[in-house]
Chains A and B, each alone.
Chain A
Amino acid sequence: GAGVSQTPSNKVTEKGKYVELRCDPISGHTALYWYRQSLGQGPEFLIYFQGTGAADDSGLPNDRFFAVRPEGSVSTLKIQRTERGDSAVYLCASSLSLAGGDEQFFGPGTRLTVL
């Protein structure tokens, strides 16, 4: 398909473990975003990339969270020493450019459960 894809769709891990969540944006989209959605809340911004560089990582909650986009396409969100509070749906979105208000296309999300 031509949409944003995320893998895995579900991830169950134990407290203290390391996890990686992958996002494949729409081909040609230069801007990529990560959001986190907890139960009953709206998506919460984590980080966005323009090309390979993180243009704004102000939403990352702490230094256990890290994201990369080495070739300006696929991105990986990495969470170290997971905690139960990290349980949420992690959404990835991409847009054609960083022009203000450009529509962001969202993937289906990865549901992370930390036991």
Chain B
Amino acid sequence: DQQVKQNSPSLSVQEGRISILNCDYTNSMFDYFLWYKKYPAEGPTFLISISSIKDKNEDGRFTVFLNKSAKHLSLHIVPSQPGDSAVYFCAASIASGTYKYIFGTGTRLKVLA
């Protein structure tokens, strides 16, 4: 039972354009969401997070949007750069009681120069 889903295994975008990565979740108890980026042979690196009390969080070129009613979040990268090419994982956690991350299966982003 996949509680966090990333339905697009891959995405290709032209350099300079917007990349939109999507994530859906099923557990309404999740109250903290994160995006991690992973390069080959490296561990995941934290990118950006959002609490369930917010619907948007922005950090430079990266913006995460949360739609709680739809149990959906998205990561926008604009403008996309070739160095953004990586696998992006969405993760969710429950802040009280347990702190483990539940990860999606990842989306491989390729930014074309």
Contact = CB atoms under 8 A, between A and B. Distances in A.
B51 A101 contact: yes
Interface stretch (A39-47, A61-69, A76-84): A39-47
Interface residues of B, number: 29
A54 interface: no
Contact of A42 (B51, B100, B104): B104
A43 B105 CA distance: 8
A98 interface: yes
Given A48-B99, A100-B96, A41 B42 contact: no
Main secondary structure of the interface of A (DSSP, over half): loop
B59 to A, nearest CB: 12
A43 B46 contact: no
Contacts of A21: none
Interface of A: 4, 31, 33, 35, 40-45, 48, 56, 59, 91, 93, 98-109
A4 B46 CA distance: 13
Contacts of A93: 43
Contact of A100 (B45, B46, B99, B104): B99
Nearest to A6: B43
Nearest to B36: A106
Contacts of A107: 43
B87 to A, nearest CB: 9
Interface string B23-64: 000000001101010000111111001010000000000000
A87 to B, nearest CB: 16
A43 B103 contact: yes
A105 to B, nearest CB: 7
